[in-house]
């Protein structure tokens, strides 16, 4: 759940920084550019947060531990 919060926060921070940059330059906000910057910032921060999250490692270890043991392909007595 934490990567989701980090992604949302990064989106807002990217947009606010872009808006402040435009305001200090005296230029209007270009909405397509603002959305691109916000989306790229969100994707990068969300991916990094997901990849480094300890929850992912724990869940992956649980999945590996819960896999059923390998079953023999041939069971029983062969008949020819």
Measured CA to CA, the distance from residue 4 to residue 10 in angstroms comes to 10
Residues 6+ apart with CB under 8 A from 46: 3, 4, 6, 7, 10
Q: Does any domain span residue 61?
A: no
What is the CB neighbour count within 10 angstroms for residue 28?
8
Task: Kindly report the pTM of this predicted structure.
Answer: 0.63
Q: What are phi and psi of 18, to 5 degrees?
A: -65, -45
Q: Does any domain span residue 62?
A: no
What domain count does the chain have?
1
Are residues 14 and 42 in contact, defined by beta-carbon separation less than 8 angstroms?
yes
**pLDDT value at position 63?**
64
Range of the domain at 33: 2-54
Q: Does any domain span residue 33?
A: yes
pLDDT digits (tens, 9 = 90+) for 22-75: 999 999 999 999 999 999 999 999 888 888 877 665 566 566 656 666 666 666
Q: Token pair of 18, please?
A: 């872009």
């Amino acid at each position: 759940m934490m990567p989701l919060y980090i992604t949302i926060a990064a989106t807002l921070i990217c947009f606010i920084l872009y808006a402040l940059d435009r305001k200090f330059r005296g230029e209007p906000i270009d909405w397509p550019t603002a959305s691109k910057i916000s989306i790229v910032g969100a994707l990068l921060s969300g991916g990094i947060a997901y990849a480094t999250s300890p929850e992912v490692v724990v869940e992956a270890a649980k999945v590996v531990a819960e896999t059923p043991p390998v079953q023999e392909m041939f069971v029983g007595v062969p008949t020819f």
